[in-house]
Amino acid sequence: MAALVVVGSQWGDEGKGKIVDLLAKDADVIVRYQGGSNAGHTVINDKGTFVFHLIPSGVLYRGKLCVLGNGVAIDPGGLLGELDGLKKNGIAVGKRFLICQRAHVIMPYHKAIDKAAEQAKGARRIGTTGRGIGPAYVDKMARVGIRMGDLLNPDVLKQKIQENLVEINAFLRKIYNAKGFTVQSIFKEYQAYGERLRPHIADVPLVLDKAFGRGQRILFEGAQGTHLDVDFGTYPYVTSSSSCSGGACTGSGVGPTKISAVLGVTKAYTTRVGGGPFPTELHDEIGERLMQRGNEFGATTGRMRRCGWLDMVLLRYAVRVNGLTSLAITKLDVLDGCEELNICTGYRYEGKLYREMPADLKVLQECRPIYERWTGWMEDTTGLTSYRALPSAAKRYLARVEELSTCPIDMISTGSKRDETIVIRNPLDCSRK
């Protein structure tokens, strides 16, 4: 039995989709435990390019059970679109895809509130995707949310919509001068969603407990990244859920003693989408080069990602709060041809040196990064599958990352395709503590 949690160690977009896709080959069950359709995982294999927003990328393997846990905010219309897209491409899902009956549903009014609220913030916008994720989690915590199991009970569903719209419509009209919704239109749409998704809605914690009992290998995947976690991220420029490893337990109904290891995925440099502090951000030709070579455009929104040097303050913090047992370094090949590389080892603010992540947003926004300079490599690493074949300068760079993070590297991605990966150790082995 093995249970591996895969988390992003930066601000998301680290390439978790490819890593999870690669590891899913050796797993029996793949579980998404938080977030919503505001996340995007891109997987490229011999069947083509697939962009997933909700369904775990492991669905591309035959015989794997893929699960959405209770911590995921479900947009049923978008989910059905993904399922239809898989069917169109000849990928049969059938009974090997399950959704937790306790997962909360994103309603049309959540999207309306999300977009109106972000627009009203003006210069204070945080960069939300407008997919309704935040308002759906607000309703969850306010105990007025609608859950996937409610879609299967027409009377309960209609009553909840009716009760919610009394307040929601008044809120939209009076605060944002926006249109309200009718009970019948939402009820009819979401009841139909429920009927189509009925075969997939299940008691996921019970399903996972039985999988553990059978000794199966379970892979937990999170969306976004550590520094977008609602508690431990660069608040308020964060997502609305627990994207750290602890979210795997609360978002799936699995106890912490069942988790065997935690793999942190990090780019060989740093990126961020949307607003918020970014100490190592580059506003020069090097940042532009990283963006172009790395194809740094969001899988969900298409927005350009901000690019900067690798930040070890961020990474050390991710190692600590997630309990990372190993790292997967992605997009190493994007650094090919850089004569000189910088690694951020600390921040300086008002004469004070910070080696660990400050919680104060003002410090993060105004600090000056402290860099170590390293010689780059001019060789092409794209597609390499052997660590020994890497340029010596690349090995020194990776060794320094291990040293500064105090975490071993298990995997190195050298390209976008599944087989363009160096696997030093399989993290699903979970034998090394």
Are 309 and 350 in contact, with CB atoms under 8 Å apart?
no
**What residues are paired with 411 via a beta bridge?**
328, 423
Angle (CA) 137-138-141 rounded to 5° is: 85
- Catalytic site residue 155? no
Angstrom distances, CA of residue 372 to CA of 42, 203, 267, 277: 32, 50, 17, 21
Q: Which of 129, 389, 366, 154 is nearest to 162 (CA)?
A: 154
> Token pair of 142, please?
């306010």
**What residues are paired with 98 via a beta bridge?**
67
Q: What own/partner pairs with CB < 8 Å and gap ≥ 24 does 416-419 have?
A: 416/18, 416/42, 416/44, 416/295, 417/44, 417/45, 417/383, 418/18, 418/21, 418/22, 418/43, 418/44, 418/45, 419/385
Indicate which residue of 13, 114, 150, 333 is catalytic: 13
Q: Give Dmax over CA atoms of the chain in angstroms.
A: 66
> Token pair of 62, please?
């035959």
- Catalytic site residue 13? yes
Helices (H) and strands (E) in the chain, counts: 12, 20
Q: Which of 284, 321, 300, 391 is nearest to 10 (CA)?
A: 321
* Residues across the chain: 433
Sign of the four-CA dihedral 385, 24, 218, 149: positive
Helix-strand-coil split of the chain, %, nearest 5: 40, 20, 40
Q: Is the bond preceding residue 76 a cis peptide, omega within 30 degrees?
A: no
DSSP for 86-149, please give it.
Answer: HHHTT---GGGEEEETTPEEPPHHHHHHHHHHHHHHGGG-----SSSHHHHHHHHHTT---BGG
Are 150 and 107 in contact, with CB atoms under 8 Å apart?
no
Instruction: Say which amino acid occupies 158.
Output: K
d(CA 64, CA 95) in angstroms, rounded, equals 10
Indicate which residue of 28, 41, 53, 200 is catalytic: 41
Sign of the four-CA dihedral 130, 115, 128, 162: negative
Q: Which residues are catalytic?
A: 13, 41
